Homo-oligomer: A and B are copies of this chain.
Amino acid sequence: MLNVGLLGAGRIGAVHARAITAHRGSTLAAISDVVADNAARLAETYGTDARTSDEIIADPAIDAVLIATSTDTHCDFIEAATAAGKAVLCEKPVDLSLSRARACQDAVAATGQPVMIGFNRRFDPSFGAFKSALKAGEIGKPELLSITSFDPAPPPVSYVKVSGGLFRDMMIHDFDMANFIMSDAPETVMAVGSAIVDPEIGAAGDVDTAAVTLTYADGRIAVIKNSRRAAYGYDQRIELLGSDGMLQAQNMLENLVVKSTAQGVTGAKPTYFFLERYMPAYEAEWSAFVEAVETGTPMPVSLHDGVQALVMAEAATRSVKDKKPVKLVDVA
């Protein structure tokens, strides 16, 4: 039984609290939050204790820490928890600063503790079936990957300002998905973006619509499209052309009803947002973490994977600014 401390009692912390509790091999031992009341409320719901993050990290009875706090605290908590001998599952991104993330990577390496980064989409059953079919050779050799990833509605501009920008905050999931599907990092990143959904996002120095092209050493190509707004819901599709065919992962719909009238044939929209879409993925992610800790096997998504996605986000940010392709090896 893995005793788990949860740092962060916000929306995503609540998702993890549920997964930790539901898992037969883990117990939610304590919850902390920068707003103590939030921790208390979530702790009451799950019948556990609210404590400070320091207390949780210092508690020798706690085996693992799940970090769901604000991004700027991730590295500090990762370092403190691994130094205290705990296994860590930390939400993405590792940090907004690549150098800070790399320093954290070094510090963790020194402790030898396992750290997993929460790229939950890798654990989505459909993306898993997609990857399995690819590995089984069902479409031959991969050639051209497309990732479509649209949010239903843009976040408040106040959030955008501290988010690190669309590439580090939103597309970072898609960078990791490309790495997951392609089983390799790209050589170059070419990005374009604009603030066409909300001019205030542009005024805040960010983009809300972007297209990124990745090229690989062996000639493969990937295209990632992001938009902060899709009126019809959360659009999460992946499509890979291979030498023998194509794989597509389609959207999950709200229900199975189709209506045919004089106006056309209408089915349900995609599920609204990530909580509805990826709930099974969060549960499977937690299971994978527990299993890796219990068996001492490598983390299925490593801290290195988290840094790699950050390098790609950094490259995309520079590519938009400099209006040219950026090589990953040139991202210091």
Contacts and interface: CB of A to CB of B under 8 A. Distances in A.
B267 A264 contact: yes
A225 interface: yes
A197 interface: yes
A245 B261 contact: yes
B223 A225 contact: yes
Contacts of A192: 190, 213, 215, 221
A302 interface: no
Interface in A125-140: 125-126, 129-130, 133, 138-140
Interface in A196-242: 196-197, 209-211, 213, 215, 218-221, 223, 225, 227, 229-232, 235, 241-242
Interface residues of A, number: 71
A49 interface: no
Interface string A180-200: 000000001010111111000
Given A221-B209, A243-B229, A126 B251 contact: no
A241 B230 contact: yes
A254 B252 CA distance: 11
A292 interface: no
A239 to B, nearest CB: 8
Interface in A85-138: 125-126, 129-130, 133, 138
Interface stretch (A33-41, A71-79, A142-150, A305-313): A142-150
B257 A130 contact: yes
Contacts of A267: 264-267
A111 to B, nearest CB: 36
A260 B243 contact: no
Nearest to A236: B256
B232 A261 contact: yes
The interface centre, meaning the residue of A196, A250, A263 with most chain B CB atoms within 10 A of its CB, is A196
A195 B259 CA distance: 24
Contacts of A253: 265
A258 B235 CA distance: 15
A262 interface: yes
A126 B196 contact: no
A330 interface: no
A259 B241 contact: no
A246 B230 CA distance: 8
Nearest to A130: B257
A162 interface: no
Given A197-B143, A265-B232, A269-B260, A129 B213 contact: no
Given A196-B218, A244-B261, 9 more contacts: A139-B261, A146-B225, A188-B323, A209-B219, A209-B221, A231-B243, A231-B245, A245-B260, A264-B267
23 contacts: A133-B259, A138-B261, A143-B197, A143-B227, A144-B225, A188-B323, A190-B192, A194-B219, A196-B219, A196-B220, A223-B225, A231-B243, A232-B260, A232-B261, A235-B246, A245-B259, A245-B261, A247-B259, A248-B257, A248-B260, A250-B256, A250-B257, A264-B269
* In the complex, the 6 A-B pairs of residues with the closest C-beta atoms, listed nearest first: A245-B261, A194-B219, A232-B260, A126-B256, A196-B219, A126-B255
